[in-house]
Amino acid sequence: MMYRPLPRLERPCLAHILALVLLFSNLINGLQLRAADPAPPPTRNYWGDTNRFLDQQAIVLLGAAQEILAQSPPALPEPAQRRTALLLLDAVLHDAEAPKRAPVQEFFQRRMAQAALEIEQTRVERGAIIWKLYDHAFVVRTRTVTLAFDLTRAHSAGVAGFALPDALAARLVSPCDALFISHRHGDHADDWVAQQFISQGKPVVGPAELWSDRPFHDKLRHLSANSNEAHALPVQKGQHTLQVRVFPGHQGTDLVNHVFWVRTPEGLSFCHLGDQSNTEDFAWIDRLADHGPLDILLPNCWTPNPLRVIRGAKPALVIPGHENELGHSIDHREPYWLTYERFAGAGAPCVVMTWGEAFRYRVDPETDESR
């Protein structure tokens, strides 16, 4: 067999080099094009990680609720979509671990920071603005005064990361002229908040049993719980005076729960029920309206027979509170859906709100339907 030399490679000519450059540049361009193409998304799932799943679900549901609430602030008649948003909150907040979840903490703190900003910046020329805080706390502002009822930092939820930082709570305290505390339970009474008021020379009114073993007890105002007595309570260093009645309420059979009825210098009146829940007290609840016209009743949503309370007080408006106290067991973490059931057929307009929301009561006489 004859040996045949392999064909000699031809020396590369210019045409070959150009062809190779073209080939490589096409390849590189092709790669770049493919890199810019959107990669097909991986199928998202949370299999095996229930905790992360529930966190993500809280983000989605709270985000949806937030969006609806922002589009439909509290109003009368109630925008139908608000109920959907509040039911979404029920769903998220009836997870036993809710106060430990970062999305829940962020949702709560953001809403409270927004309320603090509004309270700092909002002037009221007529009527009143009522901010609902946690969980049965309200801040009420009229032209002359700002009242706080059962204001706490929300440590009752039992999770430090959920509670309001002191700096934020201080921003809620600072604009208020007086604090009314219904009873000693931690979801209504916060000693740090009370001492802030005291240090600013503002009255803190509560039952004598409250913090009776604390050094600042004698700095609290103890008004007698006598339905027929109207107390004059000076605020703003005597510049204005509130008229206060204290009704001798109870939580259950024994726990003293003061029901405050406060009349502002403009003649607007607000009645906060605390944790009123003793049916024997209907003896005076049934006659609440005898003490004069009531603008706004602020009942705990789970008070027994709320429709009877409303018949007794005859308020112009009802704003229930105490929903979703996260320190309570799931069965007593009162949901909005039950508030809607319990207050259906109330003989007064009813505004259901969540943390940080505000209702404008007779602020705009042209448009306000709560008149």
The b/e string for 122-150 (b: 16+ C-beta within 10 A; e otherwise) is eebeebbbbbbbbbbbbbbbbebbbbbbb
Rounded to the nearest whole angstrom, what is the least distance from the CB of residue 255 to Zn ion in the complex? 10
Q: Give the DSSP letter of residue 41.
A: P
Which C-beta is closer to Zn ion: that of 275 or that of 281? 275
Which C-beta is closer to Zn ion: that of 187 or that of 190? 187
Rounded to the nearest whole angstrom, what is the least distance from the CB of residue 54 to Zn ion in the complex? 26
Rounded to the nearest whole angstrom, what is the least distance from the CB of residue 39 to Zn ion in the complex? 52
Which C-beta is closer to Zn ion: that of 190 or that of 275? 275
Contact, 358 vs 118, CB < 8 A?
yes
Which C-beta is closer to Zn ion: that of 24 or that of 192? 192
295 binds Zn ion (CB under 5 A): no
Which C-beta is closer to Zn ion: that of 275 or that of 295? 275
Q: Which of 150, 190, 275, 334 binds Zn ion (CB under 5 A)?
A: 275
Rounded to the nearest whole angstrom, what is the least distance from the CB of residue 305 to Zn ion in the complex? 18
Handedness of CA 103, 106, 112, 113 (dihedral sign): negative
Annotate each residue in 234-273 with x if it binds Zn ion (CB under 5 A) or - if it does not, as one string: ----------------------------------------
187 binds Zn ion (CB under 5 A): yes
Q: Give the DSSP letter of residue 355.
A: T
Rounded to the nearest whole angstrom, what is the least distance from the CB of residue 275 to Zn ion in the complex? 4
- Binding segment for Zn ion among 20-28, 43-51, 256-264, 274-282 (CB under 5 A)? 274-282
Annotate each residue in 304-343 with x if it binds Zn ion (CB under 5 A) or - if it does not, as one string: ----------------------------------------
* Residues 61, 95: Cα–Cα separation, whole Å: 13
What tokens were used for 231? 């107390």
Number of residues this chain uses to bind Zn ion (CB under 5 A)? 2
The helix/strand/coil state of 298 is strand
Which C-beta is closer to Zn ion: that of 90 or that of 187? 187
Rounded to the nearest whole angstrom, what is the least distance from the CB of residue 343 to Zn ion in the complex? 18
Rounded to the nearest whole angstrom, what is the least distance from the CB of residue 123 to Zn ion in the complex? 31
- Binding segment for Zn ion among 19-27, 140-148, 163-171, 187-195 (CB under 5 A)? 187-195
Handedness of CA 253, 269, 225, 290 (dihedral sign): negative
Phi first, then psi: give them for residue 38, nearest 5 degrees.
Answer: -65, 130
The helix/strand/coil state of 260 is strand
Angle between helices 80-93 and 50-71 (to 10 degrees): 160
Give the H/E segment covering residue 239: none
Which C-beta is closer to Zn ion: that of 184 or that of 311? 184
Q: In the chain, what is the straight-line distance between the N-terminal and C-terminal CA atoms, in Å?
A: 116
Which C-beta is closer to Zn ion: that of 136 or that of 245? 136
281 binds Zn ion (CB under 5 A): no
Exposed / middle / buried, residue 187 (Cβ in 10 Å: 0-12, 13-18, 19+): buried
* Residues 285, 297: Cα–Cα separation, whole Å: 12
Rounded to the nearest whole angstrom, what is the least distance from the CB of residue 324 to Zn ion in the complex? 12
Rounded to the nearest whole angstrom, what is the least distance from the CB of residue 281 to Zn ion in the complex? 16
Q: Where are the alpha helices (DSSP H) in the chain?
A: 14-36, 50-71, 80-93, 102-121, 166-173, 191-199, 282-285, 306-313, 336-342
Which C-beta is closer to Zn ion: that of 58 or that of 210? 210
Contact, 124 vs 138, CB < 8 A?
no
- Binding segment for Zn ion among 39-47, 64-72, 186-194, 233-241 (CB under 5 A)? 186-194
Q: Give the DSSP letter of residue 278.
A: -
Instruction: List residues binding Zn ion (CB under 5 A).
Output: 187, 275
